Structure 1
Amino acid sequence: MARTASPRPSEASARDRRTATVKSAPATLAFVESPVQLLNLLEWAHTTTMDLTVVVLSPLDPMSRGQLRRMAELARGEGIRVRWEEARGGVAAPFRTIGGLTPLLRGAGRIVIGDPFSRYVQLLLALSGSRDLTVVDDGTATMEFIAQLTAGEPLVRWHRRGRRGPRDLLFAPMASAARRRLTPARRRAVEVFSSMPVADAPPGLTVTANDFAWTRSRFGPPRLTRTSDLVGTSLVETGVVDQDLYIAAVTGLARTHRVTRYFAHRRESTEKLHRLHAETGLEIVRPDLPLELIARRGPIGRTIVSFPSTVVHTLPLALAGTEVRVAVCDIDPAWLTDTASPRAQGFLAGVTGTARDVQRLAPGV
């Protein structure tokens, strides 16, 4: 099973500490928690001349951390200040992180966030004095965010199911305050920078299209292989899709479309990937950068097969002008687990149905 090298724990001592010291509040202060958010922040920064400092609220899983380190290097290469925070490194870490960021939060002219559903981000928004907010794309979650904002609903991730637990009730006031901050008002400007389709948006919300101009200007065009690649998903890990049926679907797609490589999602479990490799013979690749950059750099298959996910919207944009074809396989309702959210099938169908410039594949094709 092929994979890129991930940083050793011993490397964390130097690189996981703050890598930029900001003595005064920047014009724009951004918070990201995933490599995709940082990629889309770079795309947004490509469209503006604002003074920008990025705060990475580092997650715990090694694959996300590794990709974020690589993305942070690219951001610094673009002249952007990057401040790395071990925001989840122990009980005291959130207090230390929030205490250190409070002066910057209160002085920044604009706040940029990548995940409005994040409790960490919601708390930081409550401490911010900025009236101008930008939400950069966090993939398909952005579609759900806009839909909930338009309907005036609580901010809840689409795959969550069941009644709220004690932690949800504890954070409910903060979530409500964040939703108010993210709702445009007479003296509050809110922008969403996204490559996702936006059918309806609340009045006053500015939606700016992300066409991946920065990615296309920096990388590629890629060399194309004669075979196909398949993009993995974490729907099994989030409890939406049954693992056995997922592996059977991957096996069928690999056989039909001459797939040789499987690009794993950063949240896919090692156990599942080992099983995929053993049963399909596919080369398992754990990318060290978001797939949009991996595909643009190449080499990449002439056909990229995916299940409903962010990439069915972003890859056609990042690969514009190439001969790469993106195909998306619908999720069969029979693949869903008994514990999947009732909203899962409709949401996933919407992800596929709104994708542009892709080929639609029926389940099992």
Structure 2
Amino acid sequence: MSSSVIWAESPLQLLSAVEAHRAGLCGPCTEARLRAGAPSLETTAAEIERLGVPAGLRMAGSAPRPVRPAEDGVWVIGDAFSGAVQRGLVAPGRCRLVIVDDGLATIHLLELLTTSRPKALVRARARPGPARRALGLAAWGRLRAAASAGRLTVCTALPISAELRDAVRGLGAAVHVHDFPWLRGRPAAEAPPQRLVVLGSSLVRNGLVHRDRYLAWVRSLAAAEPLQYRPHRRESPDVLDELRADPRISVVETGVPVEISLRGLTAEHRVVSLPSTALTSLRLMLRSTGTRIEGVPVPPDWWTDAADPGLRDHLSLFLDGLEIAT
């Protein structure tokens, strides 16, 4: 087995892991394993290979469960809230760990890890039972122990505050900040013919935003000028059906992250999105192009009762042009 193993469960995790390998955070030989049953992951892996993977990295196909490296290897993971990943974390072994970006959940993870008292690593809106909570507590302990032993690195492009960054480093973990240098070095993608690009959101499907308000917003943008709509990978199919029926809206599904598919945007383009980690990554990717990237706050009457104030505050991190503290 390679000295390093990437376990990717989403396209963003895979892309972030490629950047981690390129930065030298893994061993000289790294294999990327993809969670089985995720077509968007396979499409993203194929596109990364087409672009030319960094030396020493190999796309090793899918697997039904997390694959760990040998004892002296490096395990690159994105979703530390996954039960399957946590069972891997608490298994015997002292391999080095690299945590890569997995959207908003990454910041939540770091906040939990830096608390003074043990906190079960469970998703923000989850209601775990006793067994699941016990596993989350054990995973918290293993990650803290890895940090204390100098075996934990966080590789991120997210807007983490200086206070949180310092707290993570205070645990003994390393923090590596990147701005997608490998991806920015690839040939530019073809630019969309529409000048306005709207990034889709999973907030409707997750029950956090009212569907009718969201659709009315997208249609209001299309009333001003034709637009290209890039769906979120977990977007509601019925929302997409509604948008496809509007001749002013071109719904384009590429199967790869927008960081890859929109890297050809120019100063003539404008990107509009509700709060999303893609706002941060696209600002990094396109900072030299002059592309306007606009984050739109969610109006108060759009939220459903399922969206608690803490979640709303967290999402605001991705609205402004805040860059991660180094």
Superposition TM-score tier, normalisation by shorter sequence: 0.7 to 0.9
* Conservation of the 8 A alpha-carbon contact between 2:274 and 2:298: yes
Aligned residues: 314
The one-letter amino acid of 2:201's match is T
Distance 1:320 1:105 in 2: 36
Secondary structure of 1:320 counterpart: coil
Pick one of 132, 136, 146 that aligns with 2:110: 146
Q: CA deviation at 1:185?
A: 4.3
> Once the 2 structures are TM-superposed, how far is the Cα of residue 70 of structure 1 from its aligned partner?
3.5
What displacement does 1:328 show? 0.7
The equivalent position to 1:253 in structure 2, one of 212, 221, 227, is 221
Q: Select 1:230's aligned residue among 198, 206, 222.
A: 198
1:78 deviates by: 4.5
Residues 328 and 186 of structure 1: is their aligned pair in 2 closer, same or farther, counting only changes over 3 Å? closer
Q: Which residue of 2 aligns with 1:349?
A: 316
Matched, 1:285 2:262: no
Identity %: 30
Name stretches of at least 5 consecutive residues in structure 1 with no aligned partner.
1-21, 88-96, 358-365
Question: Is 1:179 the equivalent of 2:128?
Answer: no
Q: Deviation string for 1:282-338 (max 9, x for gaps)?
A: 110112321111111458961111110011100011112112110111111211122
Letter in 2 for 1:326: I
- For 1:141 and 1:261, the matched residues in 2 are separated by 28
Residue by residue over 1:3-29, the C-alpha shift from the partner in whole angstroms, topping out at 9 and shown as x without a partner, is xxxxxxxxxxxxxxxxxxx3xxx3222
Ranges in structure 2 where 5+ consecutive residues have no aligned partner: none
Say which of 167, 170, 182 aligns to 1:214.
182
Q: Which residue of 1 aligns with 2:89?
A: 125
The answer on whether the counterparts of 2:18 and 2:54 sit within 8 Å (CA) in structure 1 is: no
Closer, same or farther: CA 117–47 of 1 in aligned 2, 3 Å: same
CA distance, structure 2, for counterparts of residue 59 and residue 339 of structure 1:
30
Equivalent position of 1:192 in the other structure:
154
Deviations 1:214-241 (A, max 9, x none): 0111132765756211000111111111
Give yes or no for contact 2:259–2:278 (8 Å, CA) kept in 1: yes
User: In 2 relative to 1, CA 141–301 (structure 1 residues): closer, same or farther, beyond 3 Å?
Assistant: farther
Distance 1:52 1:127 in 2: 23
CA distance 1:63–1:270, change in 2 (3 Å): farther
The aligned amino acid for 1:179 is W
Q: Does the Cα contact within 8 Å between 1:106 and 1:130 map onto a contact in 2?
A: no
Structure 1: distance between partners of 2:267 and 2:104: 23
Question: 1:308–1:328: 8 Å Cα contact kept in structure 2?
Answer: yes
Q: 1:38 aligns with which of 14, 31, 54?
A: 14
Does structure 2 conserve the Cα–Cα contact (< 8 Å) formed by 1:57 and 1:85? yes
